[in-house]
Amino acid sequence: MPTSRPDSDTLRRWDLDHLWHPFTAQADWAAASPLIIERGEGAELIDSDGNRYLDGVSSLWCNVHGHRHPTIDAAIREQLDAIAHTTLLGLTHPTAVELARQLVERAPGGLTRVFYSDNGATAVEVALKMAFQYWRQKPDPEPERSQFVALGGAYHGDTIGDVSLGGVDRFHTMFRPLLFPVLRAPIPFCYRCPLGLERPDCGMACLDEVDRLLGAHPGQVAAVVIEPIVQGAAGIVVHPEGYLRGLREITRRHGTFLIADEVAVGFGRTGSMFACEQEGVTPDFLCLAKGITGGYLPLAATLTTEEVFAAFNASAADGKTFQHGHTYGGNPLGAAAALATLRVFEEERTLERLGPKVELLRSRLQEFAALPHVGDLRQRGLMAGIELVLDRESKAEFPWHRQVGARVGLRARELGLLIRPLGDVLVVMPPLSIDHDQLDRMMDIIFRCVREVTEGTEP
Ligand SMILES: *Cc1c(COP(=O)(O)O)cnc(C)c1O
């Protein structure tokens, strides 16, 4: 505990004077009264005045077992007594080794190599560069495989490589002149199908589009990149069942790689440890971050196969080294938090106990269908999106300036819940450890806020 700290008003003033917040309209931020989160406890956050809030978005999609979990707290303290940081450049350390072994054990079969970095964007960036380099130096090189396929609405992080893959106009359009071109496949988003089709009559024509795209660029695609099962930042877009399996089959048929960005969906979020498991898919690259440390510390991992590794497994003189690394990649404190996070999954049988919570969320979501401005409800595991629309019939969106989603978020805060909507899609993503009463309370608050904010908003 800090022995003394400036009072809340001083902190707010200093924040406004010196901080620049991520993905934040700073003038709006300055106009509101910044909330100072000082402590956490399980699924709750506590502000500087002692008010409690449910953590409805797991502190940005990463908290898994709750805040101040005794097992994870203790593991970090224990690691701290040994060493806080050393490097994997030319050295190794026990926690990173043990974690690599345990990640391989739990990941889809065949992913046997772990490359560490420190955030989700780098986990994907590493996969892109590894795939690109692999084709140039594998035994029978295919250097013309230098392009990537990404989906509409894709979000893979904020580095220039990841932004190139990005398909969220609001985030990515500004930077187009800086980016490398990608081949864009349609987002498998059934509520707003970009092909204008309807399930199930469509026969998943969006998959045929990927097939066509790869067929039109024979031997030119290094990898297809996907957020498997659920596209997060696109608005919690749940893919139709069988899409991922179909995509894996198509990438194999065209002899290209599949990169699975499980930064958001990994570590139990969709109901299984990894989302790829749900369709029995092993990708060529599996990108992990966010939940890997239980939402405690920045750590990321890119897993790949022995086949990929073998193409890099040479002496310095051969010039095949992967010339990429991050100072804090595989940091011991982060690795200790990650090992403890995996241990808690077992000790608390987190995944086994998730089912009833997923069902409770499902039934509570159904109530929203009665609200006239709820256009679509999407859920997989303990991850849901509630899409608010101006007009249900036409699916017309609210005008942007009305900030309907943001207003629901602000009202929820007054009622003791913190959520961060994506535009007018309300994101429901609490820690997996949330209990039934808290889940009920969270859904009560969201329901009330949606009603209050959208009532009387005529089309
Ligand atoms: C959050 C996210 C990222 C980026 O992770 P950072 O740790 O914020 O860099 C990448 N991919 C997906 C799917 C994400 O949700």
Phi, psi of 129, deg, nearest 5 = -70, -35
Q: Could you tell me the pLDDT band of residue 2, with boundaries at 50, 70 and 90? A: low
pTM of the model: 0.97
Kindly give the distance from the C-alpha atom of residue 61 to the centroid of ligand 1, in angstroms, as a whole number. 9
Residue whose CB lies within 8 A of the most ligand 1 atoms, among 156, 162, 165, for a mutation test: 156
Q: Which residues contact 149 (CB under 8 A, 6 or more apart)?
A: 182, 183, 184, 185, 210, 213, 214, 221, 223, 224, 225
Domain residue extents for the chain: 35-64+351-454, 73-347
CA 267 to chain centroid, in Å, comes to 10
Distance 417 CA to ligand 1 centre (A): 23
Residue 170: its pLDDT value, please?
85
Cβ(145) – ligand 1 distance below 6 Å:
no
**Distance of alpha carbon 286 from alpha carbon 307, whole angstroms:** 14
| Distance of CA 55 from the midpoint of ligand 1 (Å) | 19
- Tell me the CATH architecture of domain 35-64+351-454: Alpha-Beta Complex (3.90)
Sign for the pseudo-dihedral over CA of 271, 245, 242, 375: positive
Q: Which CATH architecture does the domain made up of 73-347 adopt?
A: 3-Layer(aba) Sandwich (3.40)
- In which region does residue 6 sit, left (phi positive, over 0), alpha (psi from -120 to 50) or beta (all else)? beta
Q: Quote the percentage of the chain above a pLDDT of 70.
A: 99
232 lines ligand 1 (CB under 6 A): yes
pLDDT digits (tens, 9 = 90+) for 162-173: 999 999 988 888
The tokens for 407 are: 């207003």
Instruction: Give the model's pLDDT for residue 458.
Output: 61
Q: Is 118 in the pocket of ligand 1 (CB under 6 A)?
A: no
The CA distance from 378 to 395, in Å, is 15
Which of 163-177, 307-321, 415-429, 431-445 shows the lowest mean pLDDT across its residues?
Answer: 163-177
Question: Residue 412 in contact with residue 449, Cβ under 8 Å?
Answer: yes
Q: Average pLDDT, stretch 223-244?
A: 98
Please report the pLDDT score of residue 44 as a whole number: 98
321 Cβ contact list (under 8 Å, min separation 6): 312, 314
**Terminal CA-to-CA distance of the chain, rounded, Å?**
51
Taking residues 237-265, report their average pLDDT.
98
**Residues 188-227: tens digit of each pLDDT:** 999 999 999 999 999 999 999 999 999 999 999 999 999 9
The minimum-distance atom of ligand 1 relative to the CA of 159 is 9
